Amino acid sequence: MNLNELNGKVTITVAGEEVEVNASDSVKETVKRILQEKGIDSFTILVDGAEITSTSDLPETFAEHEIEVKRYVKAG
């Protein structure tokens, strides 16, 4: 556990940038807000290094999870 976690904060990675969030916050709502702010609409989410394949793979909060959001290049 690092100092941030002791403060109730964790760092997630969004499109290569580190973003600090509250560990107890909802992953779904927080990530949604950050992506809207950054204008990212095509993306993939990794939880503890593995890409989610279903919304049920998404944890409730950030606590004890490593979350990364990668921007996705669209085909077509």
Partner 1 sequence: MIDTKLITRAKQSSKEIETIDSSWRGYVENLRETIFTIPFKGNYSALIEENALLIEGYSGLLLIDRLYHNKKTYLLKTPVKHSPFRIYGLYDSRGRFECFMARPEIGFHYLGLHNQGHAICTGDIQYSNPDSLSILKEISSKIIDSFRLINMESLGTVLLPNEYSELRSILANKEEDPKTKVEKLLNKNLIEEIL
Residue ranges in contact with partner 1 by CB under 8 A: 28, 31-32, 35, 41-45, 52-55, 58, 72-76
Per DSSP, the residues of 21-55 read EETTSBHHHHHHHHHHHHT--SEEEEETTEE-SSG
Q: How far is the CB of 11 from partner 1 (least distance, A)?
A: 19
Q: How far is the CB of 73 from partner 1 (least distance, A)?
A: 5
CB-wise, 39 or 49, nearer to partner 1? Answer: 39
Cα 47 from Cα 67, distance rounded (Å): 5
Q: How far is the CB of 17 from partner 1 (least distance, A)?
A: 18
First and final C-alpha spacing in the chain: 43
